[in-house]
Every structure is written in C-alpha cells, then in structure tokens.
C-alpha cells in the first residue's frame, strides 16, 4: 500500500505499482470470473478483464443486452451463457445487475454461491440495505466489492486510452482468507487507476449522496436555476445556455479537472476572481443544509426504500420515460442539442 497525503489526511491507496497486473493474473490464475449482467458496468469490466488476460465468462438473459454481448465478441455456449449457467461455472460471481434486478434474481443466484466462491459487487446497495433487499449472502463465501468511480463506458474508454478510472474496494466477508487479494486483483484487472479502501455501507451512502447531489441531482438543479433566471431577464436561449453550461463543460471543467479549482481561481480575470470569492460562501451556506438533509435521508435507508418501491411498480418504466422525456424536451436541453451541433468539430 502507498501512503498518500490527501489535504493533510494520510490515506493508504493501492496503485498498479504496488499490485501489478502480472500479480493480479497470478492471484486469479485458477479462477473463472462470471460477469452477471451486461448493462451499465458489465461490458466495461468484462471486456477489460478479458483483454487483460483473465478467464472471463458472461451471464445474461436473452434480449438486446445479450445481442450486445455477442457484438462485443462473447460467444454463446463458450463465453456467453444464461445467468444460471454462468453463476454455476464461476468461482467469482461478479453481480453487475441493477439494484432492482439483483433483488429479483437473488433467489436464483444464491443457490449457485457454493462454499469458497466469491460474490462481487460494484455497489454496496444490495448488501448495505439487505433488510430491505433480501440479499443476505451465505456465510461460507467471500463477499467483496470494487466500485469504479464512473460509468462502465468511462471505465472501458479510459482503459483503451491506456488510463485508469479510480475505484474504491471493500471486503464484507472473508471466508477463504483470500478475499482481499481477490478483491485487489479484480480491481487491477478491470482497469482501475488507484484503489482506495471503503466499506459496503460507506460506498453505498456516498454513492447515493453523490448521484442525488453534485454528480447529477444538484448540478441539474443549479444549472436550471441559473438558466431560468437569465431567460426570465431577457437573455436568449443561446446566451443563457453558453453562460450556464457550455462554458462550464467545454472550457472550465477540463481545466479544473486537470489543475484544480484553486488554480482556476488564481488564473481567471480579477472580476471573475472577486465575484467567485464573494459568492462561493452564500452558495455553500445555502446548499450545505440541503446536502445534510440528503445525507441523512440516504443513511437512514429512506432513499433506498424509495428506489425499491419505485422500481417495484408495474408501470415504473412508463412513468420513468415520461420524466426523462420532460427533462429531454426542456428548453435548456433542447438548446443544448443545437449548441452541440454548432461546435466546430461537428462542422
């Protein structure tokens, strides 16, 4: 483990220098890794493991995602199977189904979790709230997690570019005495940048908070609020969108991703500096109580229950599509589609 100083806090992380790919291959040389689910995380993790030389098979029900797996080079009857067949063959069962799908498949999946196998997740939801999900694993298996901090698409894209997406990892249950080395080997095998330790509970809580907060929920709310105020005060859709979204995503985000917001503050105009320094406090003070309320809702299991109840409704997909359509058809994101077309690389 490498000891790193994160803003004055010492944290141990695992990098590819401490745990090289050759070591990961050695640890997992006798394992059959069964990737269950080929939706969001499945393709990236499965393909990266395969390309890195591990013994990987995929379990997926018939349908569009099954056909996608075939298009990605998985061969029915050889490396592509039903969920049941793959789970039976795998010594490491990577459960990469959606949270709702995990709950529905669990009674079937559980019967293939025989002694000594490892059950792997990339999200702590099902185990953290297993009083609600019913996903209580057998005591005679390893239960582990590697959670990439991004989408499966990003994991795959960055892998193909020779880069890595950072991941957290956790061991919930160590039956074999090999749970940690299995976990780290899988983390390196899927193409992680560096790995940092967490718990299933911490990962699930931080993940749900992030999705509802700065990653998606809060950012949409903030962008829409600013866009609306500009439009209500006579600014055109193009001007409102460029000042709210386009400059942020195309100009500033790449810079502060590379150099940090502190660098951004030090290298903008004096007018921007003064305004940003003056207004970051009021925004922080207004937003923090909302984040505290959100975190409490997540930690209590309330957000998990909302998700479970929502996904269990027979007309869930119909209602979801209506909500997504309303977002897609809003003026701000219809403006976005036009602005994207006008970018120089598209002309």
Walk along the chain (347 residues) and give the pLDDT tens digit of each residue.
788 888 888 988 999 999 999 999 999 999 999 999 999 899 999 999 999 999 999 999 999 999 999 999 999 999 999 999 999 999 999 999 988 889 999 999 999 999 999 999 999 999 999 999 999 999 999 999 999 998 899 999 999 999 999 999 999 999 999 999 999 999 999 999 899 999 999 999 999 999 999 999 999 999 999 999 999 999 999 999 999 999 999 999 999 999 999 999 999 899 999 999 999 999 999 999 999 999 999 999 999 999 999 988 889 889 999 999 999 999 999 999 999 999 988 87
DSSP class per residue in 173-198: E-SSS-HHHHHHHHHHHTTEEEEEE-
Q: Is the same domain home to 238 and 276?
A: yes
- Give the CATH number, domain containing residue 290: 1.10.1040.10
Is residue 203 assigned to a domain?
Answer: no
Q: Is the same domain home to 115 and 219?
A: no
222: domain range?
A: 210-346
Is residue 83 assigned to a domain?
Answer: yes
Helices (H) and strands (E) in the chain, counts: 18, 10
Backbone angles phi, psi at 173, to 5 degrees: -150, 125
Q: Is the same domain home to 226 and 173?
A: no
Q: Is the same domain home to 229 and 127?
A: no
Pairing, β 142-148 against β 118-121: parallel
Is residue 239 assigned to a domain?
Answer: yes
Q: Is the same domain home to 118 and 255?
A: no
Active site residues: 123
Q: What letter would DSSP give residue 141?
A: S
- Give the CATH number, domain containing residue 126: 3.40.50.720
Q: Is the same domain home to 38 and 105?
A: yes
Number of domains in the chain: 2
Is residue 205 assigned to a domain?
Answer: no
């Amino acid at each position: 483990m490498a000891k790193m100083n994160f803003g004055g806090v010492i944290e141990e992380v695992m990098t590819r220098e401490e745990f090289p790919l050759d070591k990961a291959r050695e640890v997992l040389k006798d394992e059959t890794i069964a990737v269950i689910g080929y939706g969001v995380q499945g393709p990236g993790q499965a393909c990266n493991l395969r390309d890195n030389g591990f013994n990987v098979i995929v379990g997926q029900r018939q349908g569009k995602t099954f056909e996608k797996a075939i298009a990605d080079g998985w061969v029915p009857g050889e490396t592509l199977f039903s969920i049941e067949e793959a789970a039976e063959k795998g010594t490491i069962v990577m459960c990469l189904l959606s949270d709702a799908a995990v709950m529905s498949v669990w009674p079937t999946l559980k019967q293939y979790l025989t002694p000594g196998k490892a059950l792997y997740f990339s999200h702590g939801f099902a185990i953290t709230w297993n009083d609600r999900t019913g996903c209580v694993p057998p005591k005679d298996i390893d239960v582990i997690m590697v959670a990439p901090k991004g989408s499966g698409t990003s994991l795959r894209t960055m892998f193909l570019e020779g880069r890595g997406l950072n991941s957290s990892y956790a061991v919930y249950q160590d039956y074999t005495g090999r749970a940690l080395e299995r976990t780290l080997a899988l983390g390196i095998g899927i193409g992680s940048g560096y790995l940092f330790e967490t718990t299933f509970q911490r990962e699930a809580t931080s993940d749900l908070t992030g999705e509802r907060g700065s990653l998606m929920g809060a950012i949409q709310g903030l962008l829409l609020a600013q866009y609306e105020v500009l439009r209500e005060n006579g600014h055109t859709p193009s001007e409102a969108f460029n000042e709210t979204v386009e400059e942020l995503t195309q100009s500033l985000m790449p810079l502060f991703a590379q150099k940090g917001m502190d660098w951004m503050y030090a290298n903008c105009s004096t007018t921007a500096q003064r305004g940003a320094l003056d207004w970051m406090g009021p925004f922080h003070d207004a937003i923090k109580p909302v984040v505290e309320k959100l975190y409490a809702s997540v930690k209590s299991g309330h957000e998990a229950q909302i998700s479970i109840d929502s996904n269990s409704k027979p007309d869930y997909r119909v209602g979801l599509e209506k909500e997504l359509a309303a977002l897609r058809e809003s003026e701000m994101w219809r403006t976005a589609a036009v602005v994207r077309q006008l970018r120089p690389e598209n002309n």
